[in-house]
């Protein structure tokens, strides 16, 4: 083919990978095309495009699995980070941090989220946008169910109490007992059903 006008330099030409890659995703076809071109340039012989498409599909799947594994490790790191803090909000609320979706990865909490969480006594250091949203949603659910506040839950959790089923009124009474006992855990609490130690 002779291109007198020079249009081939301005348009993407159809390749064998485009023709054979009908059932594959665009990123697979793109990787196969690139790999085939590199192999052809290195060997001086045409590459087997069908084989390269299969290899590219496996490589893309491997990359996706690696990203998923990295996201899981981030979740574990987040739990480990909060475990080293004074109180882990996920433990206090007895929830597991959700896996961050890719479009929220690395996104910090909004100023509105930070203000709300700090007012509620939640340590937001190292917390991302999605985990801040999850925590706020859990706090709203607890309030709607009449459960104790996060500040109450945090104090009681530190002293070995499982606050999942503790109401605001029960927690207020327990906080009074705690203050009366000079902020030392009352021995009688160890006999309670909510004692977790």
Between the alpha carbon of residue 1 and those of residues 8, 10, 121, the distances in Å are: 10, 16, 72
Closest CA to 82 of 115, 123, 46: 123
Q: Is the pTM of this model over 0.85?
A: no
* Contact criterion met (CB below 8 Å) for 90 and 96: yes
The pLDDT, as a whole number, for residue 197 is: 63
pLDDT (0 to 100) of residue 11: 47
| 3-state SS, residue 165 | coil
71 close to 100: Cβ distance less than 8 angstroms? yes
pLDDT given for residue 73 in this prediction: 66
pLDDT confidence of residue 21: 53
Rounded Cα distance between 39 and 49, Å, is: 11
From first CA to last CA, the distance across the chain in angstroms is 80
| Per-residue confidence (pLDDT) for residue 112, from 0 to 100 | 95
In this prediction, the residues of the chain whose per-residue pLDDT falls under 50 are: 3-6, 8, 11-13, 83-85
Q: Tell me what pLDDT residue 156 has.
A: 92
Q: What is the pLDDT of residues 20-57, one digit of tens each?
A: 555 777 777 788 778 888 887 888 887 777 888 888 88
- Which residues, other chains included, contact 70 with Cβ-Cβ below 8 Å and sequence gap of 6+? none
């Amino acid at each position: 083919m002779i291109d007198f006008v020079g249009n081939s330099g301005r348009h993407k030409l159809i390749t064998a990978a485009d023709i054979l890659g009908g059932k594959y995703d665009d990123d697979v076809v793109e990787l196969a095309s690139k790999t085939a071109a590199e192999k052809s340039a290195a060997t001086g012989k045409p590459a087997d495009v069908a084989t390269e498409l299969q290899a590219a599909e496996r490589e893309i799947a491997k990359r996706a699995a690696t990203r998923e594994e990295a996201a899981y490790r981030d979740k574990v790191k987040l739990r480990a980070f909060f475990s080293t803090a004074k109180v882990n909000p996920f433990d206090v609320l007895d929830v597991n941090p959700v896996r961050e979706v890719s479009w929220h990865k690395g996104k910090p909490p909004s100023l509105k989220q930070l203000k709300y969480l700090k007012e509620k006594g939640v340590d937001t250091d190292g917390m991302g946008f999605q985990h801040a949203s999850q925590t706020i949603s859990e706090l709203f659910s607890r309030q709607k169910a009449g459960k104790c506040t996060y500040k109450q839950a945090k104090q009681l959790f530190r002293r070995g109490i499982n606050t999942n089923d503790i109401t605001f009124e029960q927690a207020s009474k327990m906080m009074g007992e705690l203050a009366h006992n000079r902020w030392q855990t009352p021995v009688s609490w160890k006999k309670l059903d909510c004692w977790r130690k």
